Amino acid sequence: MPQTSLVDTLAECRHITAQMLGHTNLAIDVEGVELCRTGRISLIQICPASGQVFLFDICALGQAAFEAGGLRDVLESERICKVIFDGRADADALYHLHRVQIRRAYDLQVHHSLRYSRTGDRYVKGLQKCLDDSGLVPFADKARIQRIKEGGKRLFARDLGGRPEVWTQRPLPNLLIEYAAVDVRYLIGIKELWSGSSTAVVFRVTRDRLQGAISATAPAKGDHMSVRDFSLGLNARFLGRAAVEAPRCHTCGRQGHIARNCPVREDVFDDFFDDSGGYHDVSDDYGDYDHGLTFRDIAPDGYIDSSGNEW
């Protein structure tokens, strides 16, 4: 397994970022407390194609990491492709807290949707789904990664009994170091595997999506972040709103759920009789659609991270 290094001195930060300016692709992620413009950045993870992960300790380095430390030059470089996975909360926090803007970013959450989503798919998918569909994670590593992610969430997720402030604890728990490293280690490999005709589209949608998060009146945080906010296809574009309207219930007529989840139904079965007395299966109406469930309902472990996305 490639090495993970914690960077917490200005001299080391400056030395490593100077080397990174020579790379073509860098995988980027950010961790913090309630990560968005109203939260706090604790770590910035950067991983080159070699797989070695550098964790820049913003708690220790502060704003100097971006200025004298050289992180601004890396993150704002128009020559280096920053491979991310849903960087909206990251971009929101970096810009509003540190006046740094991620440029030339490539969002694999967008690319995954272009490859695998259907027109009626209302929700974006989490990193775990992206990793699984890529096939890049060796089978022997999957269980270990799952343990790392589940263990890390128990440390910082409030709904699992954790404390978000644990990201500011020093020394940082080893489990969180592993957690942070996993988030970036495979991103460049997936981008290279999926490279093709949609590359330019991903760059364009990512740029507009990150700018939308920065310009929005509200922080990039909450359950609404799970709703797909861009169209699909070779002419895909960022919409700044839900790309697919919430479904409408045939039973009560309200929007936001379908008949099988209707709160006014008298029964709990999936099927009901239609107005003509015929037997009608509501599952036929939507096929693989999201069936009116919220993202919290469909997340594999019921967990939503600071960006509103399932792991």
Q: What is the distance between the alpha carbons of residues 250 and 248, in angstroms, rounded to a whole number?
A: 6
CATH number of 4-242: 3.30.420.10
Which of 75, 93, 47, 59 has its CA nearest to residue 67? 75
Q: What is the pLDDT of residues 67-103, one digit of tens each?
A: 999 999 999 999 999 999 999 999 999 999 999 999 9
Collapsing DSSP states into helix, strand and coil, what is residue 216? coil
CB-CB contact of 272 with 282 (8 Å): yes
Q: What is the pLDDT of residues 26-48, one digit of tens each?
A: 999 999 999 999 999 999 999 99
pTM of the full structure: 0.81
What is the pLDDT, as a whole number, of residue 57?
98
Side-chain-side CA neighbours of residue 259 (13 Å):
17
* Averaged pLDDT of the chain: 87
Which of 44, 77, 72 has its CA nearest to residue 184? 44
CB-CB contact of 156 with 163 (8 Å): yes
116 has a pLDDT exceeding 80: yes
259 has a pLDDT exceeding 70: no
Domain definitions of the chain by residue range: 4-242, 249-302
Q: What is the distance between the alpha carbons of residues 171 and 155, in angstroms, rounded to a whole number?
A: 14
- Sorted by sequence, the CB contacts under 8 Å of residue 195 that are 6+ apart come out as none
Q: How confident is the model at residue 278 (pLDDT cuts 50, 70, 90)?
A: low
What is the pLDDT, as a whole number, of residue 1?
60
What is the pLDDT, as a whole number, of residue 55?
98
Instruction: Give kind and range of the element (H or E) at residue 42.
Output: strand 40-47
Residue with structure tokens 């939260």? 39
Tell whether omega for the bond before 263 is within 30 degrees of 0, i.e. cis: no
Q: What is the distance between the alpha carbons of residues 10 and 32, in angstroms, rounded to a whole number?
A: 20
What is the pLDDT, as a whole number, of residue 281?
47
Q: What is the distance between the alpha carbons of residues 220 and 35, in angstroms, rounded to a whole number?
A: 8
